[in-house]
Amino acid sequence: MIKTMLIAQGVLGTFYPSANPTEKAPVVIVISGSEGGIPQYITENLYMPEANFLALSYFGAEGLPSSLENIPLEYFVKAIEVLKQMPGVDASRIAVVGNSRGAELVLLLASRIDLDLRGVCAIVPSQYVNGGFPYPNRNAWTHNGKPIREFLPGLTSNHENLTEGEDIVAMIEQGLAPKHEGSQNDPLIIADLFRARQMKHQADLSNYEIAIENITSSVLLLTAEADAIWPSAAYGQGLVNRAYLHGKRDVTHKRFSEAGHGLAFPYYEEYDTSIFHPIGNFWCHGGGEPFHNKIASEQTHTLVHEFLTGILT
């Protein structure tokens, strides 16, 4: 597998050319979640030789914001423009794949800007626009130079310097969720926080929903019923319900029972116990059981490939 760094017009990522770079081939842009950096690990897991792939960074790498805060949607438009100028890229066949916060992003992006995409794949997505990370009361995204202010905020405080970790601790101290130490042996269940935020802000939730019906391409949603990071299966069903309510039918939703948040990654046993989040600075549980996580990871790989092959050929 050949890969090269892509640094152009402020866009940063790793480019993986198709197996036959002398001919124009479609391109798939892969976008990571709240861990930031360049998502090479996910991209190499999902890579298929019939297409070019770009592991695109948008924060947490040199020359980019250090945290998920005030990320302009126009950055991703620029990335597509850069790709269209590359000789081995077929500009008429572009798809995006996002994982976790990256899944939230690709849905939000495609719902607000018509990028003439062939397809959008959202792995363990959110139904809602969320705040920044690790500061949930700050804006995560901007559009046309203005913050997207309609987002699901923190639970226990509206202070802009509240961190995700502090919000979780305060939630537990207030008896709003079962206690976990946040250690490697007793990791946090962050999904409890997102469910509690939804309950607190229930009256305003419709304002935070991603308008999936505005996406002009096919959409694939892959979610996990035992997701311990956030309730992705419920979010996925909410997205489908909204899409159907507005007459959008080209949305496919696959729910993996008893699987956790790590669908996009190659299966590894450590994910079933605890993960240290380098930006959140806490230990958290991904959810699911080893057997089901392994199967779900393998099936995710197959389903993403089938989806991309179907829309790009």
> What is the predicted pLDDT for the residue at 268?
66
Span 109-134, pLDDT tens digits: 999 999 999 999 999 999 999 999 99
> What is the predicted pLDDT for the residue at 2?
85
> What is the predicted pLDDT for the residue at 22?
85
> What is the predicted pLDDT for the residue at 197?
98
In the predicted model, what is the mean pLDDT of the chain?
94
Split at pLDDT 50, 70, 90, the class of 21 is confident
pLDDT (mean) for 88-103: 97
Please determine, for residue 271, whether its predicted confidence score (pLDDT) is greater than 60. Answer: no
Please determine, for residue 267, whether its predicted confidence score (pLDDT) is greater than 80. Answer: no
> What is the predicted pLDDT for the residue at 274?
79
Quote the pTM value: 0.96
Span 201-241, pLDDT tens digits: 999 999 999 999 999 999 999 999 999 999 999 999 999 99
> What is the predicted pLDDT for the residue at 1?
76
- Nearest Cα neighbor of 156 from 134, 171, 136, 137 is 171
> What is the predicted pLDDT for the residue at 289?
86
Please determine, for residue 138, whether its predicted confidence score (pLDDT) is greater than 60. Answer: yes
State percent of the chain over pLDDT 70. 98
Domains belonging to the chain, first-starting first, are 4-149+209-312 (3.40.50.1820)
- β-pairing verdict for 71-72 and 11-16: unpaired
> What is the predicted pLDDT for the residue at 291?
87
Contact (Cβ atoms closer than 8 angstroms) between residue 97 and residue 307: no
State percent of the chain over pLDDT 90. 86
Please determine, for residue 272, whether its predicted confidence score (pLDDT) is greater than 70. Answer: no
Split at pLDDT 50, 70, 90, the class of 142 is very high
Split at pLDDT 50, 70, 90, the class of 273 is low
